[in-house]
Structure 1
Amino acid sequence: MRTELVSEPGDPGRPNEDFASVGLPASGQGGSLVVLDGVTPPGDGGGCLHSVPWFTARLGGALTELTVSLPDVPLVELLSRALARTADGHAATCDLSHPRTPQATVALARWSPASVDCLVLSDSVLLVESPDGTVTPFLDDRLSRLPRSALASHTLVDTTLRNKEGGFFTAAADPSVASRAVTGSLPRDEVRALAALTDGAARWVERFHAGDWADCLALVREEGARSLVDRVRALERADAERAAPRRGKTHDDATVVYAELSPRER
């Protein structure tokens, strides 16, 4: 099989808060991919002594291990276990009840000889391509459906929407949030390729409308994940030069993971 991974910080002077991995079991049967997009903390640190990269590394590492070592356990349960394991690692030193305790969006996929399982939580994206070229996006669109007025300030978001009913959910300290994820499962022979993107890379479609999801996956397959990130950066620079600043970061951490399942494996 072919796999490719690119992850680039939005600001070279700041740590990359994304995490990405591809796990291939020693048995040679199946595999998994994990993509996390860490949520930048507030100025007070969110009640935690640890950085967001510390959190995403531990949560991502746990998910990588669990998705390949426990192939028969559903992804929702694995996310719950990984969150509990990560929370245990700093519960004694940090305020995990703080609404901005370290947290991340999640995109997971796991494949076996029989099936491909998918999970998305918050605004990272998972694209699934069928053998006929049809691309199906797995999206958690709760954040994008909220009115802009509800997102007017971090304080408003944190007190009324973040990890609350009627708002949106991220992977933080509460293992039960795993049940809020968008999930799906497909027969293995109906999947040719997978691509997972943090929202910094998904801007090519979602902010700049340079193509649709099928175009995005085709670009990654034909020109590589680096090409997608480079195109996003060029669009961000051009946008910043010609328009008033948009809400949010000019450049965001951008991560792309691509996995092409060979015909023999399918």
Structure 2
Amino acid sequence: MRTELASEPGDADRPNEDFVSVGLPASGQGGSVVVLDGVTPPKGGAGCLHSVPWFTARLGGALTELTVSLPDAPLVDTLSRAIARTAEAHASTCDLSHPRTPQATVVVARWSPATVEYLVLSDSALLVESPDGVVTPLLDDRLALLPRSALATDALVDSTLRNKEGGFFTAAADPSVSRRAVTGTLPRREVRALAALTDGATRWVERFEEGDWTDCFRLMRKEGPQALVDRVRTLERADSARSFPGRGKSHDDATVVYVEF
């Protein structure tokens, strides 16, 4: 098995809000990947004493442990338990009902000798390659399908779309959100490799249109995850120099993990 990962902050002066882990049980019969992209809150507070990195470390750590220690539990239940455990850790000190209480996008993949299970919540991505080289993106595209007018301000998003029916969902403090995730199971024999990416890395495809998902996967296989992140940074610097308005963060935290069976 080949496993490689890269993760770096969008700004060297700010902590990386992403989380990534690879869990390999002692039995050697399977494993898991967990990738979270912490949601940066707007200025003005989020009702919580803790930072986004604190939250992603707690949630990611719980998910990593549970995916390995409870291999027969569905990933929806595993995420629900991890959210509940994390919420309990700060329920007595923080307002978990605040729409910007710390939260994150989630990608989980878990494999056994027979299957590959997956869960995707919000706009990070999981790419799966078959033995014949076909790359399939497994995405939760609810945020991408929303009209730009609906995303005009943070206040509008928080009041009408964030973790609401007809909008999009992230892992925050409500364990039931796990049922909103995109999930599925594939036969292990149909998966040669997989990769999980936060949206700071998927912008190579989705924002800069340097290639499709197959091109992206081939780049990771040939040159590794860090090469993809480096290319994104080069494109971001050129984009910033052209000063396009309304393009979101100039540089975002970028995380990539690649697993080849």
User: Normalized against structure 1, the TM-score is what?
Assistant: 0.97
Matched, 1:107 2:107: yes
- One-letter amino acid of the counterpart of residue 119, structure 2: L
Shift of 1:240: 1.4
> In 2, Cα distance between the equivalents of 1:223 and 1:169?
33
Matched, 1:47 2:47: yes
1:61-102 deviation per Cα after TM superposition (whole angstroms, max 9, x unaligned): 000000011111100000000000000000000000000000
- Partner residue of 1:224? 224
Please show how residues 1-266 of structure 1 align to structure 2 within 5 Å. Answer: 1-261=1-261
Identity of aligned residues (%): 80
> In 1, Cα distance between the equivalents of 2:81 and 2:242?
46
Corresponding pairs, count: 261
1:219-259 deviation per Cα after TM superposition (whole angstroms, max 9, x unaligned): 00100101000000111111111242333100000000111
Gaps of at least 5 residues in structure 1 are 262-266
Partner SS state of residue 60, structure 2: helix
1:133-182 deviation per Cα after TM superposition (whole angstroms, max 9, x unaligned): 00111100000100000000000000000000000000000000000000
> In 2, Cα distance between the equivalents of 1:168 and 1:206?
18
Of stretches 185-194 and 41-50 in structure 1, the one that deviates more from structure 2 is 41-50
- One-letter amino acid of the counterpart of residue 50, structure 2: H
> In 1, Cα distance between the equivalents of 2:61 and 2:144?
28
Shift of 1:205: 0.3
> In 2, Cα distance between the equivalents of 1:196 and 1:244?
28
- Partner residue of 1:264? none
Q: After TM superposition, which residue ranges in structure 1, 4 or more long, deviate above 4 angstroms?
A: none
1:24-64 deviation per Cα after TM superposition (whole angstroms, max 9, x unaligned): 00000100000000000222330000000000000000000
Partner SS state of residue 118, structure 2: strand
RMSD: 0.7
- One-letter amino acid of the counterpart of residue 168, structure 1: F
Partner SS state of residue 46, structure 1: coil
> In 1, Cα distance between the equivalents of 2:177 and 2:219?
33
Shift of 1:19: 0.2
Shift of 1:22: 0.2
> In 2, Cα distance between the equivalents of 1:237 and 1:86?
36
> In 2, Cα distance between the equivalents of 1:117 and 1:45?
36
> In 2, Cα distance between the equivalents of 1:208 and 1:184?
29
> In 2, Cα distance between the equivalents of 1:210 and 1:239?
13
1:102-153 deviation per Cα after TM superposition (whole angstroms, max 9, x unaligned): 0000011000001000110000000000000001111000001000000000
Gaps of at least 5 residues in structure 2 are none
Of stretches 35-44 and 156-165 in structure 1, the one that deviates more from structure 2 is 35-44
> In 1, Cα distance between the equivalents of 2:222 and 2:245?
32
> In 1, Cα distance between the equivalents of 2:184 and 2:169?
18
User: Normalized against structure 2, the TM-score is what?
Assistant: 0.99
Of stretches 206-215 and 241-250 in structure 1, the one that deviates more from structure 2 is 241-250
> In 1, Cα distance between the equivalents of 2:45 and 2:12?
21
> In 1, Cα distance between the equivalents of 2:245 and 2:216?
25
